[in-house]
């Protein structure tokens, strides 16, 4: 395999790698943009302070996502497009040489010109790799911040002196009051003429939208027996209702706090994954820069060999002609496909469904689009 063929193969590979990694990070960045702010509901001052800190850091993460989507991703697409631009230029040069021929001086000048083009593209690729490396550092900082938030939340909410432990105590006290009120209501009416017993069946809403069991009401409440038509028992339902309302609010707060801890843990894990993907994207971007460096060095060597008389002009002309019908054509075809895929991404989103439920819809959409493209 010639040096030019090896470089062309490297470009094809680096284009695929950079394209794939850029799309993966794009997916994460879009998800970060859509992430709602954290809301603990009625909470202590310490918890509200933690909520503010977490939302501030989530805001920073959203800014990093915007930086990627608005600046770095377009740069990634541009550096991939430059491959097609260069090899199209090389093919055009080969056609000119084949049709009209070039003398020694003319070929030296042309090699210098395309070397200058390659050097410009190499500089862009190096800058792109630097941007991706910088983003990787910022994303790792996001991950570290949310790791600390999760640890702080666990310390604040759990343990013997945590907020959740305090809520448990309040719930037990309320359960005692509810049981006492229900017993008093039953005793006030049972066995008395005119006393009508009504049992109220309902649920406590524990829906938070977070975690397993979200949206399932707690029906096993108990203590919802009221009496009507008996002097002294009037208002028993109102009293019980007030106590049960308090219990409902405490349960909602407890469930929401547990859910927010899980949310914080999930965000931490996702930011860790995003940081790892950004690392892979930075490696891929550096691979692209390395390919441009190799091409630039090879062109420079060819030019120097031609100037020094170590190689004849017809040999180089033949080398470019062979590349035009072989390696370069393959690279251009591959890069055009990658560019079309990266710029034609469609988003399938349904906030009412879980991700595992949306994925089949996205796959079906991709298959449908592929069929349409095949016919077009």
Taking only the tens place, the pLDDT of each residue in 80-99 is 999 988 888 888 877 777 77
Name the pTM for this structure: 0.73
Every domain of the chain and the residues it spans: 3-160+259-375, 163-257
What is the model's pLDDT at position 299?
87
What is the model's pLDDT at position 232?
43
The residue among 164, 150, 172, 78 whose CA lies nearest residue 121 is 78
What is the model's pLDDT at position 62?
93
Residue-wise pLDDT for 224-263, tens only, equals: 444 444 444 444 556 666 777 777 777 777 777 777 777 7
Asked if residues 366 and 345 have their Cβ atoms less than 8 Å apart, the reply is no
What is the model's pLDDT at position 76?
92
Q: Say which CATH architecture domain 3-160+259-375 belongs to.
A: Up-down Bundle (1.20)
What is 87-145 written as a DSSP string? Answer: HHHHHHHHHHHHHH---HHHHHHHHHHHHHHHHHHHHHHHHHHHHHHHHHHHHHHHHHH
Helix, strand or coil for residue 212? coil
Residue-wise pLDDT for 23-36, tens only, equals: 889 888 888 888 88
Mean pLDDT by runs of 10 across the 376 residues of the chain is 77 89 88 85 77 93 94 92 87 76 79 90 93 93 90 75 70 72 57 44 44 41 44 52 73 73 81 88 92 90 83 73 70 81 69 61 65 58
Asked if residues 171 and 251 have their Cβ atoms less than 8 Å apart, the reply is yes
What is the model's pLDDT at position 73?
93
């Amino acid at each position: 395999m010639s040096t030019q063929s090896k470089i062309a193969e490297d470009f094809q590979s680096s284009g695929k790698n950079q394209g794939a990694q850029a799309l993966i990070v794009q997916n994460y960045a879009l998800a970060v943009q859509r992430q709602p702010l954290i809301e603990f509901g009625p909470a202590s001052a310490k918890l509200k302070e933690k909520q503010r800190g977490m939302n501030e850091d989530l805001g920073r993460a959203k800014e990093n996502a915007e930086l990627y989507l608005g600046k770095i991703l377009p740069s990634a697409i541009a550096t991939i497009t430059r491959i097609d631009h260069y090899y199209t230029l090389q093919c055009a040069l080969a056609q000119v040489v084949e049709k009209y021929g070039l003398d020694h001086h003319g070929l030296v000048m042309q090699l210098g010109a395309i070397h200058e083009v390659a050097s410009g593209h190499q500089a862009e690729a190096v800058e792109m790799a630097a941007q991706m490396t910088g983003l990787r550092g910022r994303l790792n900082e996001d991950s570290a911040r949310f790791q600390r938030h999760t640890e702080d939340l666990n310390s604040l909410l759990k343990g013997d002196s945590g907020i959740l432990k305090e809520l448990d105590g309040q719930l037990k006290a309320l359960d005692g009051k509810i049981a006492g009120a229900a017993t008093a209501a039953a005793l006030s009416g049972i066995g008395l003429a005119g006393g009508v017993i009504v049992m109220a069946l309902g649920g406590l809403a524990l829906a938070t939208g977070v975690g397993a069991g979200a949206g399932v009401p707690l029906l096993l409440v108990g203590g919802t027996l009221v009496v009507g038509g008996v002097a002294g028992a009037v208002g028993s339902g109102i009293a019980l209702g007030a106590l049960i309302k308090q219990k409902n609010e405490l349960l909602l707060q407890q469930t929401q706090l547990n859910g927010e801890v899980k949310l914080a843990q999930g965000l931490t894990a996702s930011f860790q994954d995003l940081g790892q993907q950004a690392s892979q994207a930075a490696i891929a971007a550096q691979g692209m820069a390395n390919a441009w460096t190799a091409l630039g060095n090879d062109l420079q060597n060819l030019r120097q060999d031609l100037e020094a008389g170590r190689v004849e002009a017809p040999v180089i002309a033949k080398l470019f002609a062979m590349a035009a019908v072989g390696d370069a054509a393959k690279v251009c075809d591959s890069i055009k496909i990658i560019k079309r895929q990266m710029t034609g991404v469609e988003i399938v989103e349904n906030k009412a469904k879980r991700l595992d439920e949306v994925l089949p819809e996205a796959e079906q959409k991709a298959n449908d689009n592929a069929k349409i493209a095949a016919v077009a």
